[in-house]
Structure formats: structure tokens, C-alpha cells
Structure 1
Amino acid sequence: MLSGWLWWVVPLIVTMALYGLALRQTAGVAAGGVVVALVLTAGTASVLGESPRSVTGVTLLAAGLAAVIWALGRARRRGRATRRAAAAFRSAAPDVPGVAAEAERHRIAAELHDTAAHRLTGIAVGAASALRLADPALVAEAARYAAETGRLATQELERLTTSGTGIGSADLADVDALATAWPEPRLTYVRTAGSAPPEIAAVACRVVREALTNALRYAPGGAVRVGVDREPGRLVVTIVNDPGEPVADNANVARELGGGYGLAGLRTAVAGCGGFLSAGPDDRGWAVRAELPLTPDEGQASRSYEWRGRQASDAALAILAVALSIGTSLLTTDTPESLPGEAALLVPLFFAHALPLGLRRRAPLLSLAAALSVYPVLLAAGLAGWTKQPAGDLFLWCLWVELALLYALGAYGPHSAYGPRARRRWGALATAAVGAIGGLALACGPGIVGDRAAAWAVLALGVAIPSAVAWALGLAVGSRRARRHAAVAWERDLLGRETATVVLAERNRLAAGLRRTSLRHARAIVTAADAGRLDTVLAEARAGLAALRESLGELRRQSGDDPPPTIDGIALLAARHQGTVRYARARREASPSVEVAAFRVAELLLRGCTRDEREITLTCRADGVAVSGPSAAAGGDRRVRALADAAGGSVSDAGDGTVRVWLPEVLP
């Protein structure tokens, strides 16, 4: 036999070890520690000569306590991660307006590159070719093209410098017009797709324009084939150009804007709408292929139950309730060793009473009703002689279950669906129901003599008092949480307004500079083209390209500030790592803890990536955010898993060397 002090010292040491394991290690490692502790408990009881029934009872009680210890350690681990994330989010808040202004500069740079810059390149190439050949017909055609294209460039620049919102929506007819007006004659264009959403059509137009300009720049005179086709769920844009015969006089003109930003910006734009872009040589020359989704990608469905998150605490309570009810029944000496019929009745009732704890946050009222429904069944079974287990004894031993559910009703009830008066009414009814049913179970016990109705009333009142306290405590905690969430929402709204003001000021500053330079040259091109002065057109186009080149250099300049740990900051982070972000669904705000966790995961994936093309896929859902990307190296992979685990999420292998990290929104 063990010494008396060992009976409490050993369990205390095991408890501290399990708590520390759950606090510092991932959920799986901590769960493994729980399993080891249970095996040791069962083995120790068996070695000490306990009966199988006692061994089972002791193991069940140990399982319940270990589950609660594991859940407490997990809760502390998540709480620390949440507090650190909130602190990081608040400390980075002052940098958000500046980073948003940088993102606005990058957006305007992309607009300039994809509109005015391409049009001026076409004008310069056409004018230089016509002047070199000195053919009057070609000169007239080049002047006409310069006038039309110059007007389009002027309109786009005016729209960009006035509204600051870009060139607006598009449709596939814009792709038709782009191909029809292109100055190179050896172009074959086929469109089988009927229509596409405006944002998808705008990206398709951008892909075609960039690819055609690159063909004009690097392979003038070569045949170009453009196709816009519809496949199931997606729009496919392909551009293939044959090797051309570069002309020395035209080369510098066509490449005057070159800087290596075209395909990188195009890849970002395609990824931003959830598509894929490939560009490279093939057996016919150079090929560009873009696959653009016609319907939003729903992404992989999130898990309905996250055993690493806060729901695990509810599951631990359910395990504890089962362990206490069944385990103590097995260890007590008041019940016979073998009552298979009674056990067949009681065990399902014990489970039915305990399992609603697992849903106490999602459906507290229904969970409470399900737990209370066990007592009338147990009373009826006792009257029928099917069990000797008094319902009152079970109620006293498991009253904490009802109190936990009442607390959940106050803290996690559907506050948005009911007003304050309705919530108080539901709370009063639930408290009265617990008091009435609990008082009835106690009044029907064998120890009650005399007037059972009077005993019922007194006992019901006695049960209702702690029940009301539990519900009121939950209501107070829920109200405090709601105020905290409202304060966070107010801070984010204030930050959003400040950011919008800074972005608007930056947009106006950039627009003023464009009006002084690029827009002035575009208007001069139109004036010269209308007058037939093609040499002036070429000079103004060259000057406009030089001005645009200088403007783009300023716009693409990166600030020294680190991107803030937010969903929007991931795009800037990827750009600084020469990567892209693909949004499988529209961007949306998440809680600060989830946004910071998503940013940290993306940072680890980008830093640990050894591929030439770094791409992160974000799927923003109402219940969380999924971050997918190339698997990091061994050390980075461990950090990713630890980070996701601390946020209550999970990491899965998506195949092809890609991992998917799911970061759930925490239940209220």
C-alpha cells in the first residue's frame, strides 16, 4: 500500500504536469499526456488489487478530471495568444493609415501601367514605324490611331485624377475593342465566352492588354493569337505570340516603360480575384494563360467542431459530468455489484444529462431543457420499480450541470434575437424550471416525510436561489463581453475613418502630379494628332512615357514601415517577399486575434518558401480565415502548427507541398 501522503502528492504532481503540458504544447501532445496518465491510473489501481468495477470507476473519474485540466490549460494557452494578438493589433494601429496610403499608390501605379502607359506605348510604336517608313498612308493611319488612343488615355487619366477610383467596371466587349484597335495587323482574336462579371472582365482586359503590349515590345511583327473562352466555372484567357523580328529603331521606344513590373502586377491582379496566371515560353513562342473564376470559390468547408478551440472546454465539462455520475456509481458501496437492467437504464440517462454541456454555448436553452428532461424520466422509472437510484441524489450530485447551463444561458444566449425584457423573461422561466424540477426530484426522495407538496415548494425555492445567481452571473459576463466588443468595433471604425482620410489626401496629391505631367502630355498628343503633326505626337508620347516612368517609380516606392498584422497587411507583406495573395473569397474583417494569427501564418509560409513563385491563398469566411501556401521548412512548419494550435485552429496537408491553416473565429 502507498503511504498516506502519496495519495494526494502523486495526483497533484500529475495534475500540474498535465496543466503545464496543455499550456505549453499543442493540443495533440497534451491529449497524449492525458492518455498516458489514464493508463497509469488504471494500471496502478489494478496493481493495488482493486476490482474491475473499481478500476473502471477510478479511471472514469480520472478521465473527467484530466479532461478539465486539459481544457483549462488550453484555455490559458488561447487566452495568452489572444491577449498578445490584441496587443500587437493595437500597437500596429498607428501604421495602418500609412500602409493604406502605400497600397493606394500601388493601386494607382497598376492603373497607370495598365491604361495610359500601354496606350502611349502603342502610340509611340505606331508613330515611329510610320515616320521611319515615310509612307503617307501609314502616317495618316498612325495619326488617326494616335488621336483615338490619345483621347482614351486622356479620359482614363481624367477619371483617375478626379474620382481616384480607377477606370470603372468593364465587360468582354472592352476586350473586343482592345483587340480590334490594336496597331499590329498580325493578330487573331477569338472569343467564345458570352459574358463575365464586370470585375472578372476588367481583369481579363488587363491580361490581354499587358500580353499584347509585351508582344509589341519584345516581338514586334510576330503573329499573336488571343482567345477568350468559357470553361465550367471559369473564364480562360490565352495569348500566344510568335517570335518577332525586333526593329532597332523601335526597340527603345517600345521598351521605354519596361521595368519588370508588368507580369508581377498582373499576377497580383489575377490572384486578387481568385484566379491563376501562368506565363512563359512554349513551342510556339511566348504564352500567357489566365484562369479567372466566374463564381466565388467557397473554399474548403470549415470544420463544424474544433476540438482545439473553446468548444473543447464544453466537451471537457460533458466528459466530467459523465465521469462523475457513472464513476461514482461504480465506486459507491450502496449499489449492488451486478444490476445489468438498472445499468442499462441509468447509463443512457447519465449520458443524456451530461452531453448537453457540449452545446451550452451554441444552444444553451435547448441544452438546459434536454438536461432537465432526464429527471422526470428517472422519477417515473423509480415509481415503476426499474431503478433504486433516487432522482434527488442525482440532482444534488449533478446540480452543477444545471448551474453551468444557466450561466451559459445568461452569457451566451441569443442576445441579438431578444430584447432585454425578453431575455429576463427567458432567464426567469429557466430559473423557475430548474427550481421546480429540482425541488420535485428532492421532494420525492426517500428521506422526505410529511407533506411532500410543502417540501416541494420549499426545496424549489432553495434550488431557485443558486440558479438565479448562476444565470445573473452569466448575464453580467455576457453584458461585459458585449461592451468590450462594442469598444473594439468603435476603435476599428475610428481607425477606418482616419485611414480613409489619409488615403484621400494621398490620392489627391498623386492626382495633382498626374495632371501636371502625364495628362498634359496626353492632351498634347491629341492636339498634335488632330493637326497631323506625327513627329510632335512621337515626341509627346516619348515625354509622356518618361513622365509615367518617373511617376511609377515614385508610386512603387516602398515605405520603411513593416506591414501591420492585418488581413489587408498580408497583401503588402506578400509583395515585399515577391509573392502574391489569392483571395478565394472577398476580403472581410475578422477579429483582431484571427487577423494577427493569419498574418503571422502568412509571414511564416512566405519566409520558409523555397519556390520561385510565392503565393498565399486567403479564404475569409464568417466563421474564420483559412490561409494556404507552400509548406515551410521543418522549423517553420513547427512554428506554423504551434501558432495555429494556440489560436484554436488546425493545419492540414492540401497536397502538392501546400498546407492549409484554419483559424476559427472564437465563439462568444
Structure 2
Amino acid sequence: MVVLRSWLLPALLAAGQAALWPGIPLLLGRPLDRVEVAGALAATVLATVALGWRRRSPVAALAVIIPALTLGLIATPRDALLVLIFTDVIALYSVGVRRPARVTFAVTVTLIAWQAAVGILLYHDVREYFGNVVITVVVYLLAAGLGRSRRRWRAARREAADRLARAETDRRQASVQERQRLARELHDVSAHHLTSIVVTATAAQRLAGRRPELAAEALEFAARTGRETQSALHRLVAVMRGVELEGGSGLGARIEELAAGFAALGQPVTTRVSAAPITGPVAEAAYGIAREALTNALRHAPGGAVEVTLGQRDGLLEVVVANSAASAPGAAGGLGSGSGIDGMRERAESAGGTLEAGPQPDGGWRVRALLPESITSTMDRSLRRTRGPRLADIAVALAAGVLPVALMLIPDPTMPRVGASAAALATMLAAAHALPLLWRRRAPWPVLGAVLATTALWPLVAALELLPATATAALFAGIGSDLVAVYAVAARGRPRHLTWLCVPLVGGVHAAVTVLTYALDGWLLEQPISPGLMVILIAPTAVPFLAVIVPVWTAGFMVRLRRDGVVSRERRAVAASTAGAVELAYAERLRIAAGLRAAVLRHAAQVTAAAEGGRLDEVLDSARAALAAMRDLLGDLRVDPERAPQPTAAAIDALCRELSAAGRRVELHSPTPAPALPPAVDVSAYRVVETALGAGDAGPARVTLGYGPADLRITVTGVPSATAGPVAAGLRARVAAIGGRMTVDQTGTMDVWLPSRS
């Protein structure tokens, strides 16, 4: 197909050139010089063969086309190669499409210089020479500009394909990324509260002999903080399940409240807040970074002075947390998960910013994050470029303005020559008529109005006899500007369904201007015309204009439909992939929420109960155990991004075969084929079976999957360890998280119902 597209146009050009010359003269029986015919055929073969390679090597193709055309134009009669002379224009278009701007510019300049040199040999009249050179320059600029526009279109399609590829990657990695994000949330919430309890309880134990009252304060603090931990975890679970929470106070106020809480723990914290109010994901990232940095300071540098700075610079939000060396023995060394700095860096990167963390000369530590004021500001800055008129717009406007002037320059034996002053005035009128086309992409309707307004000047010029008849007639070649404006309205005007109105508008205006101009100029019927007759003549005069305007509008509208269709398909594909990523992430949130309720919340409740019971030693042990459990959970959640996505119900068969191969007999029975399941159900079905079979039983087991119209029933027999105790509690939490239910019996059978519809 590519080969056909590359060689079809050169073949058509060669056939057309051979048919025009020498084909037509031979058919008419005119005598032809054999040398001229041979020169034409040789130039045709060389130019068309080179044109066939324009997609692979457009510059090399031009290197062959230029000498071939030069020899052909010199060896053949004038105007004999009217078809072949388009080969260099087509090759220049390919250069614009497939080569950088600097190469396109150099090639265009080379072609213009070549045409200027060849024109000296072909045109002996100075006016004719300059007229043809001007037209050639405009044609070359137009070809190069259209090539550059095509190159931008192809680049936009590649960018769209890249966006789709990234969306597909995000969809495949959605569950992994969500686990990483939730791991940061869990680390921030649990570590902040539980570390505070450990630090306070340890200090109370160490100073019990000298300050016994600290024990009561530590118990009160542990009870209060334990309840806050449970509340925070419940809120996190609610967020995972899609429950909207009310927004809090501004970022600056939240930072100051956070600092005050750490100051109450004995950590001297000062704040300097000078940033404007910021909300949204960036504010959450800034708050999470500050909280983690303060927690690390409390853990590793207790008693050291800490300064929190929140400010703005160069359109970025700056968060700096700097602490001095510890002034008291470390109380929580080794309790961290070891991922605090990584979590802060991930938070910063997720908001489009950067983070630096490292020691200071005085033995302290400094964390500095730079975040964009909003998630979209980074994209806005990357897209903010100077958007002046493009080369294609300049070339089109230049072509529309130059064509009338070129017609005046080229001598016509039937028309008198135009003087210098008249030519200058006509040039200014043509330029004013074409100048609005520079903005045809941005404002097609206003551009059309400006073009029509300048068209209305022609009757005035005729009435005042400012131009001779030759120049007035040449001005009508300016209809090219109107056609370009009509095309722009059809291709880009809003609303789309009303762009057809430009057709009768332009046709009527041009018909009225034509009748009025010729009437005032005395050309029409060679006698004065009454206003009534002028109105009658407008309708038939509009017919030839409409015959040209309608196809132009149709072409622009068809291009618009094609472009909108391509863009719409790309957007739908990206949207579908993004929706899949959101659905998978939601399924992962539901799964982790069940794990939080079954594990972390239980540890937090034990801390609170021990504190309320006045058992300080047990508070400390429970808090340390909670932190250790949190570390284990974080280790499970922080997965390698390259790891495979979460297994689904389709992988249950492989799981059963793997267990059977390992020595345990596990049968799978599924009477009906598996339908498409919601991601949350798909993942949870596998995890339920995996957990039940891995509960610790060694005997044979049987898994039955029943797919109903609205639910999925999972029956697992031979798993008594999964029907009681913490395993059963965890399974019930997971199942309930997605709206299912679970029943067990004493024989070791477990029945689970999951909804199979979204």
C-alpha cells in the first residue's frame, strides 16, 4: 500500500505530461522536433522516478528533479512541460513533511534561487520575469507551509498515540500505583500518631523516678492519640471506599496546627507561612511532606529545634522543614519503616514537583520540596509558547495578495499596461484584502468579515476612477482570499452546523460588488444602469461565484469531519483506558480497606484500651507492635512497579493446579464460563480463594464457582482453618467491603456471594 501511494502520483504526472506534450501535438499532426521530444521524455522519466522516492529521501529527490527540469525547460518549447513543473512543488511539500524546519527553509531558498536563474533564460520581458518569479515564490512558500502543517498534524497524532500508550500503561499499573499511594497515606497517618505515643511513653518510663506525674500525662496522651489514630484510619478507610469528606482549613492553618501538635510533644517548632491559600492535591502533598518531616525529626532528633517554612517563589510552592541535632536521647530509633524519604519524594513527584533531603553541617536535617501551585500549572507552562502565524498561513495570505499584483505585472497584449502609482494602490488593496488570512485558524468568522469588508472597497475605487480597467479587473483575482476564508470557516468555524451560512453570504457580497463595480466603471451594457436592474442582476451574477464557493466549503467541511473524527476516536480511547485505570484503582482501594480494618485498626484499638486501663507498659508494647505491624503492611503494599498486576478470578484455575502440583489435592469445578466481572469482584474472588486455601489446612479441597445473572457464588470445602478465627474475620471484611456476604459451617465449608454487576 505504501509503495502504491508513493508511485501512483508520479505515474499520473508522467502520463499527464506525455498526453499534454508531445501527445496532443502528435494527435493533431503537428511537426515536432525529435530533440525536443527526447528532451521532454528524458526530463519526464528522471523527474517522475525521483519523485517516487520523495517519501524516503525528499531532498535527494529534489537534487535529481532540479537538473532534470532545468534541462527539460531549456530543451522544450515554452509551456510544454506544464504538468511536469509540479514535481518540484510536490517534492518540496514532502521535504516540509519529513524534514526539520531548517532543512525546509534551506531547500525553499535554493528552489527560489534556481527559479530566478532559470527565469532569466525563459522570460525576456522584465515585467513578465518578475511576475512569474513572484508567483513561483508564493507557490514554493505555500508548498513548504502546507508540508509543515502536515508535519504538525502527524506529530499531534504521534502525541495522541503516546498519550494512549501512557493511559494503557497507567491502566495496567493502576492497582500497583494505588497500592503505593495508599502505602504513603497509611505511613503518614499511622506513623505520625503511633510514633508520638512511643516517644511519650518511653520518656515517661525513663523519667518515672524523678517525675512520676508524667506517667498519667503519657496515659492520657496515649488514650487521646489512640482514639485519633482510630479516627484517622477510619477516615482513610472511608476515603478508600469513596466516601467524600468535608474539606479542612487552609494549608497554612493546617501546617501551624501540625507544628503546635509536635510542640506539645516537647519538640520546639517554629513556623513561617507566607504562601497564598492553596488547596487541592498540591496542598495535600505539601501537608503530607511537612508531617512526615516533622515525624522524622521527632523520631531521630528529639528536642532539636525545628523550623517549618511555607512560601512561594517563581510560581512554585516551597516547603522547607529543617531541624537541628537532637538534644535528648533518641526514643524511637529503628521503629520507622525506612520509607519516609521515599514517600515524601513520591508525594512531591506525584504533584509535579521535586524534593531534596539531606544532613546539615550542624548535625541536623533539612527537607526542601518545590511544588507547582496547581497540578495543571506545569502543563500550562510547558504549553505556553509564542503562537504567531504559521508558515502555511503566511504563504496562503501572501499567495492571495500577490496573485492580483502578478496578473498586473504579466503583460497582456489585449490590455493596457498599469502605471506605477496605480500598481502601488492595487497592491495595497490586495494586501489589505489578504492580510486577515494570517488569523484564519484562530477567528475564522471575523476573518471572513474582514475579507468581505475589504471587498466592498472595489466599487468605491471604480466610482472614483482611482484605477484603470486593467487593475480593477485584476483585483477580482482577490476572490482567492474569500475562498480561503470560506474554507477556514468550514474547517474551524463555530457552531459547526451553521458554517454553511458563509456560502450565500460570500456569494451575495461578491455578486453585489461585481455588479456595482462594473456599473460604476461603465463596462456593463456600456450605459448607466438603474438601481432596480442592478438588484435584479445580483442573483444571476451570484451563480458562477456559488459554483466555486460551494465546493470549497464542502472540501473544508469534509476535512473538518475527518479531523474531528480522528481526534474524537483518540479521546474516546484515552478516556476508556483512563476509566479502566480508575476502576482498577478503586478495586485495589476496596481490597486494602478490608485489610486495614482487619489488621491495623485492631492494633490501634489495643493501644487505646491499654491507655484507658492505665497500663503504660502495655501501651508501649502495643504501640511498638502496631508500628511493627504497620511496617509489615507497608512492605506488602510497596511493590515493584514492574510486578504483574493483581490476579483475577481467571487465575483461580492456575492456583488450584499449582497447589495440586505441590502435593495437595485441590479440585476446581466451574459449570458455566466466566463472564466479565467488575474489577473489585474479579480481584477479590481470587484473593478469597487464595486466602481460604492458604489458611493452613493440608487435606484435599474443592472450589466451586457459580456464575449467576447478578452474583458470583464461591464454595470452598475442606478448609476448616478458614471458617473461624482471624482468617474468617479478614475474609468477612474483604467480602463485606464490596457488598458481598459469607457463611461458614463446622464441616470446613465456606460459601461466599459477591455481586457480579457494577
Contact 1:190/1:227 (8 A) holds in 2: yes
Letter of the 1:255 counterpart = G
- In structure 2, relative to structure 1, the CA distance for the partners of 1:117 and 1:427 (3 Å cut) is farther
Aligned partner (choices 483, 492, 495) of residue 415 of structure 1: 495
Higher Cα Rg, which structure: 2
Aligned partner (choices 234, 238, 242) of residue 162 of structure 1: 238
C-alpha distance in structure 1 between counterparts of 2:317 and 2:169, whole Å: 38
After TM superposition, the structure 1 stretch with the greater mean CA deviation from structure 2, 22-31 or 425-434, is 425-434
Tell me what 1:429 maps to: 505
TM-score of the aligned structures, taking structure 2 as reference length: 0.64
The 5 Å alignment of 1:178-577 reads 178-182=258-262, 184-191=265-272, 193=274, 196-199=277-280, 202-227=284-309, 237-244=319-326, 247=329, 250=331, 253-259=332-338, 261-270=339-348, 277-284=355-362, 285-290=364-369, 299=381, 302-303=384-385, 305-306=387-388, 311-333=390-412, 339-390=419-470, 393-394=473-474, 397-415=477-495, 420=497, 423-425=499-501, 427-438=503-514, 440-441=516-517, 448-449=524-525, 453=534, 457-479=539-561, 481-482=563-564, 485=567, 488-560=570-642
SS in 1 for 2:75: coil
C-alpha distance in structure 1 between counterparts of 2:156 and 2:384, whole Å: 21
Which string of whole-angstrom CA distances, capped at 9 and with x for unpartnered residues, describes residues 162-216 of structure 1?
2226985443343333333326524142445597334465444333322222223
TM-score of the aligned structures, taking structure 1 as reference length: 0.71
Tell me what 1:616 maps to: none
1:106 aligns with 2:180: yes
Cα deviation, residue 268, structure 1? 4.2
- In structure 2, relative to structure 1, the CA distance for the partners of 1:24 and 1:246 (3 Å cut) is farther
After TM superposition, the structure 1 stretch with the greater mean CA deviation from structure 2, 527-536 or 394-403, is 394-403
C-alpha distance in structure 1 between counterparts of 2:128 and 2:544, whole Å: 34
Which string of whole-angstrom CA distances, capped at 9 and with x for unpartnered residues, describes residues 111-153 of structure 1?
1222212222222233334334544333333322222222222
Tell me what 1:630 maps to: none
Letter of the 2:143 counterpart = I
C-alpha distance in structure 1 between counterparts of 2:184 and 2:344, whole Å: 9
Which string of whole-angstrom CA distances, capped at 9 and with x for unpartnered residues, describes residues 413-471 of structure 1?
2117xxx4x55555433332234334555677777536874765433222223323433
Tell me what 2:150 maps to: 76
C-alpha distance in structure 2 between counterparts of 1:227 and 1:489, whole Å: 42
C-alpha distance in structure 2 between counterparts of 1:107 and 1:57, whole Å: 68
Letter of the 1:162 counterpart = A
Tell me what 1:34 maps to: 108
The 5 Å alignment of 1:87-98 reads 87-90=161-164, 94-98=168-172
SS in 2 for 1:386: coil
Contact 1:218/1:246 (8 A) holds in 2: no
C-alpha distance in structure 2 between counterparts of 1:306 and 1:485, whole Å: 23
Contact 2:511/2:539 (8 A) holds in 1: no
- In structure 2, relative to structure 1, the CA distance for the partners of 1:304 and 1:152 (3 Å cut) is same
Cα deviation, residue 545, structure 1? 1.8
C-alpha distance in structure 1 between counterparts of 2:124 and 2:136, whole Å: 15
Letter of the 1:547 counterpart = A
Letter of the 2:627 counterpart = L
- In structure 2, relative to structure 1, the CA distance for the partners of 1:51 and 1:134 (3 Å cut) is farther
C-alpha distance in structure 1 between counterparts of 2:441 and 2:308, whole Å: 56
Tell me what 1:623 maps to: none
- Alpha-carbon RMSD: 3.9
After TM superposition, the structure 1 stretch with the greater mean CA deviation from structure 2, 225-234 or 275-284, is 225-234
Which string of whole-angstrom CA distances, capped at 9 and with x for unpartnered residues, describes residues 290-323 of structure 1?
466768957488345255xxx4433321122233
Letter of the 2:75 counterpart = S
C-alpha distance in structure 1 between counterparts of 2:600 and 2:174, whole Å: 24
C-alpha distance in structure 2 between counterparts of 1:82 and 1:275, whole Å: 26
Tell me what 1:59 maps to: 133
- In structure 2, relative to structure 1, the CA distance for the partners of 1:220 and 1:459 (3 Å cut) is same
After TM superposition, the structure 1 stretch with the greater mean CA deviation from structure 2, 506-515 or 333-342, is 333-342
After TM superposition, the structure 1 stretch with the greater mean CA deviation from structure 2, 77-86 or 401-410, is 77-86
- In structure 2, relative to structure 1, the CA distance for the partners of 1:98 and 1:534 (3 Å cut) is farther
Cα deviation, residue 493, structure 1? 4.7
- In structure 2, relative to structure 1, the CA distance for the partners of 1:287 and 1:433 (3 Å cut) is same
Aligned residue pairs total 552
Contact 1:319/1:354 (8 A) holds in 2: yes
C-alpha distance in structure 1 between counterparts of 2:611 and 2:295, whole Å: 21
Tell me what 1:633 maps to: none
C-alpha distance in structure 1 between counterparts of 2:537 and 2:259, whole Å: 91
Tell me what 2:190 maps to: 116
Which string of whole-angstrom CA distances, capped at 9 and with x for unpartnered residues, describes residues 29-86 of structure 1?
3123212322333344457785664553333212211112112322332343344444
Contact 2:404/2:478 (8 A) holds in 1: yes
C-alpha distance in structure 2 between counterparts of 1:330 and 1:194, whole Å: 66
- In structure 2, relative to structure 1, the CA distance for the partners of 1:426 and 1:344 (3 Å cut) is closer
C-alpha distance in structure 2 between counterparts of 1:82 and 1:170, whole Å: 42
C-alpha distance in structure 1 between counterparts of 2:275 and 2:157, whole Å: 51
Unpaired runs of at least 5, structure 1 = 564-668
After TM superposition, the structure 1 stretch with the greater mean CA deviation from structure 2, 165-174 or 121-130, is 165-174
C-alpha distance in structure 1 between counterparts of 2:501 and 2:125, whole Å: 50
Tell me what 2:74 maps to: 2
After TM superposition, the structure 1 stretch with the greater mean CA deviation from structure 2, 465-474 or 229-238, is 229-238
Which string of whole-angstrom CA distances, capped at 9 and with x for unpartnered residues, describes residues 236-258 of structure 1?
5443322236857x4xx433324
Tell me what 2:98 maps to: 24
Cα deviation, residue 517, structure 1? 1.6
Tell me what 2:13 maps to: none
Letter of the 2:421 counterpart = G
Question: Percent identical across equivalent pairs?
Answer: 32
Contact 2:511/2:542 (8 A) holds in 1: yes
C-alpha distance in structure 2 between counterparts of 1:391 and 1:93, whole Å: 59
C-alpha distance in structure 2 between counterparts of 1:82 and 1:267, whole Å: 32
Letter of the 2:599 counterpart = T
After TM superposition, the structure 1 stretch with the greater mean CA deviation from structure 2, 386-395 or 104-113, is 386-395
Which string of whole-angstrom CA distances, capped at 9 and with x for unpartnered residues, describes residues 527-568 of structure 1?
1111122222222222222222222233331343899xxxxx
Contact 1:241/1:287 (8 A) holds in 2: yes
Contact 2:141/2:391 (8 A) holds in 1: no
Cα deviation, residue 219, structure 1? 2.8
Contact 1:390/1:445 (8 A) holds in 2: no
Contact 2:303/2:326 (8 A) holds in 1: yes
Which string of whole-angstrom CA distances, capped at 9 and with x for unpartnered residues, describes residues 303-351 of structure 1?
45255xxx44333211222332223322334577772211221111111
SS in 2 for 1:355: helix
C-alpha distance in structure 1 between counterparts of 2:632 and 2:399, whole Å: 69
C-alpha distance in structure 1 between counterparts of 2:139 and 2:619, whole Å: 84
If asked which structure has higher relative contact order (CA below 8 Å, sep 6+), I would say 1
Contact 1:118/1:213 (8 A) holds in 2: yes
- In structure 2, relative to structure 1, the CA distance for the partners of 1:13 and 1:376 (3 Å cut) is closer
Cα deviation, residue 280, structure 1? 3.0
Letter of the 1:175 counterpart = I
Tell me what 2:220 maps to: 144
